[in-house]
Structures are given as C-alpha cells and as structure tokens.
Amino acid sequence: MPSKSLSDLAKSMKAIDIAMLSTHSAGGEIAGRPMSNNGQVEYDGTSYYFTYEQSRTVSDIDSNAKVALAFQGRKSFQVAVEGQASLIRDKAAMQDHWTPDLDQWFKDGLDTEGLVMIQVDATRVHYWDGEDSGEVKLN
C-alpha cells in the first residue's frame, strides 16, 4: 500500500520543471525527450506540453498514444508516470495552459503555426522517495 497520495506527490513535484517524455517510435524503439511542465505545478494526474505538429513526438503519439513521463526531484525523489497522450489543436483549450515562458520557444505565442498541445492522462504513477516507494493507480 503506498504511503503517499497523488496530492502528496503533487506537493513534492512542485519544484520539478522538466520531465522526460517517452513515446514508441514507428520502428518500435522508445524515444525520449525533455519537456517543460510550463509552470504547471498542481499535478492532478494530467500533464500538458507544447510542441510542433511536424515533430517526431506528434507522429509517435498519432501511432501509439501510450507514453511515459519521468520526473527527477531533489535528493532521491523520482516519479514515473504511465499514461495516454492526446493531441490538442484547439487554441481555446491551449490558452488555459499557456505561460509567458513559452514565448521563447513559440515566437507567435498561441498563433504559432503548427502549435500542438500534448495532454498526458496518467493511468499509473510510481514514486521513489528515499526508502519509501509506492504506486498510485488512476482511472
């Protein structure tokens, strides 16, 4: 039985900005890349990331929506997330997750041509925090 709830994990994840997003490539390999949480620190099992339509990430998710996220925190705190990704192209939906820091990567903001938001809905969250470890299953 895990000793931490999803809410407990969210508190520990507040200081983590970068996650490693892993997808399944067309050739069957696992492809990973760092993605910024964009200041989305109130983790509730859903994560959001921005990228370009023509990226390998988008084509990988189009082929296989099962993804993984890895978070590395301070000391020995780590979180591994398994989930389902979806691709969102609706600007109104993106607006809720946009932060000014993203302007450095997407020069026209939400009007950047080919902008896509990746939504990852966790199905399983495994954590390690020193000698404490556990799993939180989500629907």
For the domain made up of 6-137, give the CATH fold: Pnp Oxidase; Chain A (2.30.110)
Read off the pTM: 0.90
* CA angle, 63 then 111 then 96, to 5°: 75
CB-CB contact of 24 with 30 (8 Å) = yes
DSSP string, 36-98: E-TT----SSEEEEEEETTSHHHHHHHH--EEEEEEE-STTEEEEEEEEEEEE--HHHHHTT-
Q: What is the pLDDT along the chain (139 residues), one digit of tens a residue?
A: 557 888 888 888 887 888 999 999 988 899 999 998 755 557 888 999 999 999 999 999 999 999 999 999 888 899 999 999 999 999 999 999 898 888 889 999 999 999 999 999 999 999 999 888 999 878 6
How many C-beta atoms lie closer than 10 Å to residue 30's C-beta? Answer: 11
The whole-number pLDDT of residue 24 equals 97
CB-CB contact of 1 with 137 (8 Å) = no
The whole-number pLDDT of residue 41 equals 59
